[in-house]
Amino acid sequence: MAERSHAGEPTFGINQLPYEVLIAIFAHLDCSTRYRVRRVCGFWNSLLSFEFPIMNVQFPHRTTPGQAFESLVDQHQSALASFTTSSSAGIGDMTSKPPLTAVRSIVISSVSANNLQNLLDNRVVAFLLISFRKLRDIVFVGGKVNFWLLMDLPLGMMEIHFKNVTLDHISSIDYLRERQTEELPLSFELMLKKALVKLVDINVPVYPAGQKQLIGLDIKKLPRVTQQPILRIIRQQEKNLSTINVSDVQDIDFGLFRNSTLRELELYIPKSYDSYSHWQNLDRFSSSKLFRT
Amino acid sequence: MSTAASSSTSETIAEPGLKIKVSTKEGEVFELDEKVAKMSQVIRGILEDLGEQNGGDDSVLPLTQVETRIFRKILVWLKYHAGHDKEEAPKAEEDEIIARFCEEIPEWDQKFLNVDQAVILEIMLAADYLDIKKLRGLCCKTVANILKTKTVEQIREMYGIENDFTPEEEEEIRKQTAWCEDEPPRQGSNH
């Protein structure tokens, strides 16, 4: 690694840190950043492949649930074999590979419109949980997802990422929202929000004229308890509103907000307000525009 | 930062109580309150070992890996947090992971770590050496937040890391990580 110097003084380089510290940094990354920084250099790549092993699972066209399970077991077996035997092939291999139970990341990709929901039945989910105790994130690429799926996964510990996924039955989100308040722990809610934000990010809907204001009306109706997180989002994302207070909320013109801000704010609006059926809108959007391969 | 005053007060601490003396790499001696010193698990461990046999008032703990310039900064952090933190119960693993993702860096710490990249790394190294978990965690989070907003190229440039992949290796990784974008998500000035 190259040493840079400012004014004659050698700068401390990130790769001079003990590798445990680097790993601790990586542990704070979300999964897409963690994938991205693998490309930085060989050292980072080998650290990340060692500490956050990935398994790729492919479901080809018209996979049945039974086949999905078998293919998962197969891939698990072959991965197990390669983890224990190989130390020669591959880029920047460390001397020994971690046990496969340490897999942190699974990428499940489906080239066709398989309903991942059906493929990931109880048996598969149980298998995932038992075989991969340290699973930290699951990435779904392609296929259809229904949020019932998320109910079966131990979401509190995991990050779920969607890419080119069609959302099926948006109503399951409402179901989850209702349950959140009664039975589910707060952590679930937070994780769910994270998952939703990512999902929505993929779609990037642009709000039609007037609908920003409608969302604004909903937000102004929210009880005071939920206003703190909302204020925080606004302060962070809208530069000219970085100092607003609770008392200012009623005077804000939400029509001027960025789409991304509103998308985050929307997550705080209960469905029962219903002045703007944004989720249905999103559903329509995702089915029309998302499926490009 | 306006912390210069508090960082050089090794001789003028008024409060009674046990004082712990430590010396930095350069040999400069600092006198710390017991409470402040014990936020470092390493110092705490040594003190506990010494505790029974009474280490003597004049003993100085040598912290040979920490430069004075970095130690001054860490001292600022320790003093602030010794005064402001409540004793935290250790968290379950699950809560810790959630906290890692969902808790934001408190404002004071954000300001504290609003320094040169290289300095953050050095603080992190020292926090690791002294085993100050919270500070180490904050540094990790700060650096992670920076990484999140940068492209691979920008990261290389920022830390002076050379791209040591062959084109084939690079292609291989690209395949493995095909689903994720090159660019960090939004964060830009316009959407």
pLDDT tops 60 at residue B33: yes
Q: Is B182 part of a structural domain of the chain?
A: no
Chain A CA closest to residue B190: A258
In whole angstroms, how far apart are CA B155 and each of A5, A237, B79, B162?
17, 23, 33, 10
- Is the CB of residue B143 less than 8 Å away from at least one CB of chain A? yes
Give the one of A14, A32, A40 whose C-beta lies nearest to B121's C-beta.
A14
Beta pairing, strands B19-23 & B29-33: antiparallel
Candidates B175, B69, B184, B168; CA nearest to B125 is: B69
pLDDT given for residue A280 in this prediction: 40
pLDDT tops 80 at residue B38: yes
pLDDT given for residue B21 in this prediction: 87
Q: How far apart are the first and last CA of chain B?
A: 33
B91-100: long-range pairs with CB below 8 Å, 24+? B94/A156, B94/A157, B94/A187, B95/A187, B97/A157, B98/A156, B98/A187, B98/A190, B98/A191, B100/A27, B100/A28, B100/B137, B100/B141
Higher per-residue pLDDT: B105 or B181: B105
| CATH of residue B144 | 3.30.710.10
Give the one of A25, A141, A156 whose C-beta lies nearest to B179's C-beta.
A141
Q: Is B15 part of a structural domain of the chain?
A: yes
Q: What are the chain B neighbours of A26 within 8 Å (beta carbons)?
A: 144
What pTM was estimated for this model as a whole? Answer: 0.61
Q: Chain A window 158-217: which residues touch B at a Cβ cutoff of 8 Å?
A: 159, 163, 187, 190-191, 194, 201
Q: How many domains does chain B divide into?
A: 1
Higher per-residue pLDDT: A75 or A7: A75
Number of CB pairs < 8 Å for A and B? Answer: 140
Q: Report, as an integer, the average pLDDT of A188-215.
A: 54
Q: State the DSSP string of A160-211.
A: EEEESPEEE-THHHHHHHHHHHHTS-HHHHHHHHHHHHHHHHHH-PPPPTTH
Q: Which of A63-67, A90-94, A177-181, A194-198 is predicted with the least confidence, judged by mean pLDDT?
A: A90-94
Task: Give the tens place of pLDDT for each residue, A116-149.
Answer: 656 666 667 677 767 776 777 777 776 666 555 5
- A123 min Cα distance to partner chain B (Å): 24
At residue A279 the predicted structure's pLDDT band, cuts being 50, 70 and 90, is very low
Q: Is B14 part of a structural domain of the chain?
A: yes
Contact A155, B101 (CB under 8 A): no
Cβ pair A32:B176 closer than 8 A? no
Domain residues of chain A, as ranges? 53-203, 211-289
Q: Chain B window 64-123: which residues touch A at a Cβ cutoff of 8 Å?
A: 94-95, 97-98, 100-102, 118, 121-122
Distance CA A96, CA A105 (A): 19
CA atoms within 13 A on the CB side of A255: 6
Distance CA B191, CA B189 (A): 7
Q: Report, as an integer, the average pLDDT of B130-142.
A: 91
Residue of A17, A33, A58 to mutate for B, most B C-beta atoms under 10 A: A33
Among A94-108, A115-129, A166-180, B6-20, which range has the highest average pLDDT? Answer: A115-129
Helices and strands per DSSP (H, E), number in chain A: 13, 8
Length of chain B (residues): 191
Task: Give the tens place of pLDDT for each residue, B76-114.
Answer: 999 998 887 766 666 666 566 656 666 778 889 999 999
Q: What are the chain A neighbours of B132 within 8 Å (beta carbons)?
A: none
Cβ pair A194:B101 closer than 8 A? yes
Q: Report, as an integer, the average pLDDT of A2-19.
A: 61
Distance CA B139, CA A55 (A): 30
Q: Chain B window 18-47: which residues touch A at a Cβ cutoff of 8 Å?
A: none
As a whole number, the mean pLDDT across chain B is 78
Candidates A113, A120, A112, A117; CA nearest to A66 is: A120
Distance CA A240, CA A223 (A): 24
Contact A242, A252 (CB under 8 A): no
Cα angle: B110, vertex B112, B113; to 5 degrees: 65
- Is the CB of residue A242 less than 8 Å away from at least one CB of chain B? no
Residue of B65, B122, B159, B189 to mutate for A, most A C-beta atoms under 10 A: B159
- Is the CB of residue B186 less than 8 Å away from at least one CB of chain A? yes
β-partners of residue A56 are A107
Q: Report, as an integer, the average pLDDT of B148-157.
A: 89
As a whole number, the mean pLDDT across chain A is 64
* Structural domain span for residue B138: 4-86+97-148
pLDDT given for residue A274 in this prediction: 43
Q: Report, as an integer, the average pLDDT of A95-99.
A: 44
Among A202-211, A250-259, B167-176, B178-187, which range has the highest average pLDDT? Answer: B167-176
Distance CA B3, CA B78 (A): 12
Higher per-residue pLDDT: B133 or A222: B133
pLDDT tops 70 at residue B60: yes
Higher per-residue pLDDT: A92 or B115: B115
How does A22-56 read in b/e, with b if 16+ C-beta sit within 10 Å? bbbbbbbbbbbbbbbbbbbbbbbbbbbbbbbbbbb
Q: Is B174 part of a structural domain of the chain?
A: no
One-letter amino acid for residue B42 of the chain: V
Cβ pair A260:B97 closer than 8 A? no
